Every structure is written in C-alpha cells, then in structure tokens.
Amino acid sequence: MAACGAAVEAAYWGKKYGVKVTLVDKAALDRSGAVAMGLSAINQYMGLAGRAQNKNTVEEYVDYVTRDMMGITRQDLVYDIARHVDSSVHLFEQWGLPIWKTGEGKYVNEGRWQLLIHGESYKVIVAEAAKNALGPENIYERVFILEPLLDGDRVAGAVGFSVRENKFYVFKAKAVLAAMGGAVGVFKPRSTGEGLGRSWYPPFSTGSSAYFTIRSGAEMTCQEVRFIPVRFKDAYGPVGAWFLHFKSRATSALGGEYMVKRRAELEKWRPYGLARPIPANLRNYLGMLDSVEGKGPIYMRTDEAIARLAAQGEGDAKAIKMKLKQLEKEAWEDFLDMTISQALLWAATNTEPEKRSSEIAAAEPYFIGSHSGASGAWVSGPADLAPPEYFWGYGNMTTVRGLFAAGDASGASSHKFSSGSHAEGRIAAKSAIKFILENNVQPDVDGAVVEELKARTYRPLATYEKYRNYTTNPDINPNYIRPKMYMYRLQKLMDEYAGGVSANFTTNAPSLERALELLAFLREDAEKLAAQDLHELMRCWENVHRTWQAEAHVRTVLFREETRWPGYYFRADYPEMDEKNWHCFANITWNPANGQWTCVKRPVLHIL
C-alpha cells in the first residue's frame, strides 16, 4: 500500500518537474503486499471532514498510539500520517472501493477509527490507480530487489533479478524509496507440515525492507518491537470485527473472561496498563497467562455474540430470524473479504459461528511497522512538526542520503495500517522528489561492485549444478543446503532462543547470546545455499533477508534490558518495565564499511 501511495504521488510531482519514476515489485502489483487477499475494514480514518459516524482529532489518535505502544513512539511521524490519511481513504472511494454507508450516507464505523468496507478487491483497486499514474513502461513486476547500490553516504540505486526470466537488473537512481513490506517466517510458525505457509501476514513478505535499509547502513529503530497478533487459530482469521462490530467476548475454556479476571495485572504496567483501550500487547499477555496456567484453549464466543445481537432486533420471531441470518452473512463475509482460508477451515470443521465458539490463539511473531509492531528504519520527521533531533532535511528520509522509507519499512510510527501506509507512501514520495530536485546529481555506480553482486546473486544456482550429482538425493548433500532446510534452522533457533511460540514468547540474555552464536553459524552456511531454479533462488535470498532481520531483532532485544511489551516478548531476566532507564528508543546500525553492529539509545520526544 505504501508503494501504491508513493507511485501516485511521485508520478504527479515527477511529471511536473521532469523526474522519471520507476516501481519494482517482486510479485504482481495487483495482488502483492499485506492486503493482497483483501480486507474487511480500513483501520485508520480520522473523520475530520464529518463523512463518518465518528469524528476524531489527530491529537486524539496520536495519544492513542502513544499509549498503545507503551510510550515509545515517534509522535511527529504518527501525527503527520494521521493528518493526511483521510485524503487517501477518499481517493480509495473515488477509485471504486465500496465503503459501508448508513442510511444518511455516512461511513459506517466498526470501531472508533475503523471503517467497514467490501474489500476483497481492495488492493486491485488501489494498484490500478498506481499503474495508471505511472504507466506500464515504468513498472517492473516479478523482479526481486536484493541489494542497495551506494555512492559514499548516498544511495545510488539497487540491483535485483527476475524470478521468471534469466535477467539481472541494475537500477540507477537519484533517490530510492523502500516499501517492501515486513517479515514473515523468521520465527517457527504455528502452522507447520500441510499448513506451512499459512500465516497472518503474507508469507511472501520476507524482510526485504529491513535487509535493504540495514545493508545501506541506515539506522534502524524498534527492531525489538515485533508484533504478535491474536487471531482465529490455524487459519489466522481476523478478530477485529468480532470484538468491535459483534461485541464478542473472549474467554478461557473454563469460561473465565481473562480481560476481567486478570485486570489487576494491568496495575504492574501503569500508566499504560490503565489506558483505554488497553494496549494490544497487554491484551495478548492476559490471555497468555490463562494459556500458561492450562486454562486453554481460548475461545471467541461467536455464538453468544450473534445471539445477543439478534435478540436486540425489533419485531416478531420472523424479523429476529432475518436479523440472525444477516449477522451470519456478515460473519462469513469478514473472512471471505480478507482471510479466505479461515472460511475454508470453518467449513471443513463444520463450524457454524452462530452455534459454536471458535478458538483464538497468539500467532508467531512478525516484523511489521504499520500495525501494532514498530520495527523499521529511523526516518526524518516533517519540517513543521519534528523536533530538531528528529529532522534532517527531508521527511521520511533514512539516515542514508536519498534513501526513503514508508509503510512497514519505516519504524516507530505504528497503527498506520493500510490507509496510513498509503498516505505515508505519498508523503515519502513527495519528499523524495524534493530531494532529487535539490540534489540533482546522478550518484556514481561502481561497475565492479555490480558484477560482484551479480555473481553473488546467482551463486546458489552454480552451487547446485556443481554438486547436485554428489548424492542420489539432491536434498541431502554435504556441499550445500537447500532453502527450505535453511529456513527450518532459522525458525527453530529463533523459536527456541528468541522467545517464539514454544518458549511462551519468553527469553533471557543467555538464550539471546546463544541465538547470536547460532545465527553466526547460519550466516556462514548461507554462502552454501543452493537453488535448482529461479523460484528456489528467490527462496534462497528471502531466507538471507530473514536472517538479517532476525539478527537485528536479537541484538536489540538483548540491548534493551527490560520487559516493556509483555504479550510480544518477555525478558525473564528483566521482568519489569524500567521507565527510568529505558523510556527511549533502542536503535541499531550495521556499518557496511566494517560489518560491525552498534546499538544506541535515542530520546523519546513528544510533540503533544
């Protein structure tokens, strides 16, 4: 979504000032990214112009995000996105997105900030506008961007390869905007075996934003703040509509409502634990406490919620029955709009939501800067809002000159979701055009570096061809490792030592240090990855990208000596929140010149 927003905005300003704009997508733009399957709601809309049932202020939204992120957020970035997001939503409707309306023509709010939509084709609609703005001659699809090109302290472009043809691409640029999504598959997933690849966030988002910005030498922020969504178990169906629209309860298998019974636990995390709504990680944490005590499974009481809403209907028994059918239809549409696999699982298990409750569970960790996580690049704020410490010339520019980030690629600006990511893409693109106009010199690209990167890119293919006949089974070979086996090793070590599902999301310093030791071994073995074809070559490089995201995460969790986000991860050796020493950003940088990692604290400066 950030890339689509960037395409529309950059195309407009690019045409005005004679700047060529190119978009590169690993997949096909129509169905790439986090909303590829669709969505049933837009989660960020202010209602500043009075078009919705609810009317909020930007200041209220910034305050909400600050509390939800346990006090650690870039208010200048959140404010900037929030003041522009409504215009992106209005564009969506103009382009053809059906938004639910009341009889008076107001947008229907699912929650305070959320709008209900008929969103199965959400990405297709937004992508069409991006393609129309850029023109097909400026769009490269099925091209996997691997590495940045640098000219000193300035980005000079990027290289990548086609996942369908034997083509290697070199893109030379005066500015680059990274919007390549978050990361899935770093941790061992709950869905394994026949369910492998089923996840909440799209499995083709593999940490490319983080890899590209880290390898450029950009300072990264909030790499420890991974996101763990609680979703319907095994198919990752959304729960937002059930909590906000259907007003459902979640309980343990024994019937206890953990949000009520464990409310006293929130006192330990004040002032954030006393906020309303309760921060997402703390809601997770209360449910996890029930599971650890053996009170699971945890259930969404769908049957109870539908019955209660149907009973509120007016009229005779026939009218109430019709209301019940309408609610059933909305329940199924919620999944068919955005998580078809959940509808299939309900059908396969004879689950009728009006008759039977469904399990929910905390998913494996993800890295995502646009939802309730915060990982991403440390970027400049807007000139009119950012404190001096947060501003270095151009909004959304990373600490590398000419490299911009938006959506899941930019950090510390959580809760932008799809609509806010689109708006942030527009903001970043306009800044990038401004940077080009004021720094209109083509950076140098070293041809020798390009040739070295090309050879490195295709090395897994050469490795496989050289050694594939060494054994009778090509999957078992002492000379190389296939990408799936490599991925299993990465996921196992992260799950066991960095606080994954099997460790109850808990870790400590010795575990994290062991994770770093195993990651070092894995990085060595990455040089022996082997690919049978272009598709497997893509899988090799996806795993390399995941590995860099994993290491940045482990190092930052180890650096931050407190537990601030229980429900996302828990430091058993530092089990409490430490406002005195750790009310700050934990940032990390990898130096391309010497390969060293450095962690630093950055101050949290609020503008409200």
Q: Which helix (H) or strand (E) holds 180?
A: none
Query: Measured between alpha carbons, how far is 228 from 365 in angstroms, rounded to an integer?
Result: 5
Q: DSSP labels for 389-445?
A: GG-SSSTTB-SSBTEEE-GGGB-S----HHHHHHHHHHHHHHHHHHHHHHS--PPP-
Q: Return the percentage of the chain with pLDDT > 70, whole number.
A: 100
361 forms bridges with which residues in the sheet? 231
* Residue-level pLDDT at 344: 93
CB atoms within 10 A of CB 141: 18
CA distance 159 to 144: 8
Nearest to 184 by CA among 342, 34, 36, 405: 34
pLDDT tier, 314 (very low <50, low <70, confident <90, very high otherwise)? low
**Which residues, other chains included, contact 484 with Cβ-Cβ below 8 Å and sequence gap of 6+?**
539
Burial class of residue 263, CB neighbours in 10 A (0-12, 13-18, 19+) = middle
Q: Give the span between the Cα atoms of 597 and 559, in whole angstroms.
A: 12
CB 353 within 8 A of CB 333: no
Consecutive H or E run containing 298? strand 298-300
Q: Could you report the per-residue pLDDT of 152-174, keeping only the tens digit for each?
A: 999 999 999 999 999 999 999 99
C-alpha span between 395 and 442 (Å, rounded): 21
- Helix 447-467 and helix 534-559: axis angle, to 10°? 110
Query: Is residue 334 a contact partner of residue 207, using CB atoms and an 8 Å limit?
Result: no
* Cα–Cα distances in angstroms (integers) from residue 139 to residues 3, 143, 272, 418, 506, in the given order: 12, 10, 44, 21, 43
Question: Is 90 exceeded by the pLDDT of residue 322?
Answer: no
d(Cα 549, Cα 185) in Å, to the nearest integer? 11
State the chain's mean pLDDT as an integer: 96
What is the Cα–Cα distance from 397 to 386, expressed in whole angstroms?
Answer: 13
- Statement: residue 317 has pLDDT above 80: no
Rounded CA-CA distance 566/285 in Å is 6
Give the CA count within 13 Å in the CB-facing half-sphere of 18: 2
Which residues are registered as beta bridge partners of 42?
A: 115
The pLDDT of residue 319 is above 80? no
> Catalytic positions, please?
43, 110, 200, 231, 334, 371, 418
- The distance from CA 176 to its chain's CA centroid, rounded to whole angstroms, is 20
Q: Cβ atoms within 10 A of the Cβ of 329, count? A: 10
Binning pLDDT at 50, 70 and 90, where does residue 331 land?
confident
The 3-state DSSP composition of the chain as helix, strand, coil percent (nearest 5) reads 45, 15, 40
Instruction: Measure the CA angle with vertex 243, ends 239 and 247; round to 5°.
Output: 145
Angle at 468 between CA 463 and CA 469, to 5 degrees: 140
Which segments within 307-416 are labelled E, that is strand? 358-362, 376-377, 403-405
Cα 565 to chain centroid, rounded: 17
Average confidence (pLDDT) over 384-394: 98
Q: What pLDDT is recorded for position 326?
A: 84
- Using CA atoms, how far apart are residues 183 and 245, in angstroms rounded to an integer? 29
Beta carbons of 36 and 163 less than 8 angstroms apart: no
User: Which tokens go with 432?
Assistant: 């990038």
**54 has a pLDDT exceeding 80:** yes
Query: pLDDT tens across 457-502, in order?
Result: 999 999 999 999 999 999 999 999 999 999 999 999 999 999 999 9
Q: Beta partners for 185?
A: none
The contacts of residue 399 (CB under 8 Å, 6+ apart) are: 217, 218, 219, 377, 378, 392, 589
- Calculate the dihedral angle through the C-alpha atoms of 42, 43, 49, 55, rounding to the nearest 10 degrees: 130
The string of pLDDT tens digits covering residues 515-563 is 999 999 999 999 999 999 999 999 999 999 999 999 999 999 999 999 9
In whole angstroms, how large is the CA radius of gyration of the chain?
A: 24
Bridge-based pairing state of the strands 570-571 and 506-507: parallel
**Is residue 466 within 8 Å of residue 46, measured between CB atoms?**
no
Domains detected in the chain: 230-362 (3.90.700.10), 447-603 (1.20.58.100)
Give yes or no for a contact between 302 and 248, defined as CB atoms under 8 angstroms apart. yes
Q: Per-residue pLDDT averaged across 413-437, rounded?
A: 98
Taking the CB of residue 209, how many other CB atoms lie within 10 A of it?
32
Mean pLDDT of 426-441: 98
Enter the pTM of the model: 0.97
Strands 220-221 and 230-232, how do they pair?
unpaired
Give the number of C-alpha atoms closer than 13 A to the C-alpha of residue 359, restricted to the C-beta side.
14
Number of Cβ within 10 Å of residue 455's Cβ equals 11
Find where tokens 């939503």 sit. 89
SS3 track for 454-503: HHHHHHHHHHHHHHHHHCCCCCCCCCCECHHHHHHHHHHHHHHHCCCHHH
Strand partners, 144: 161
Kindly tell me if the per-residue pLDDT of 398 is higher than 80.
yes
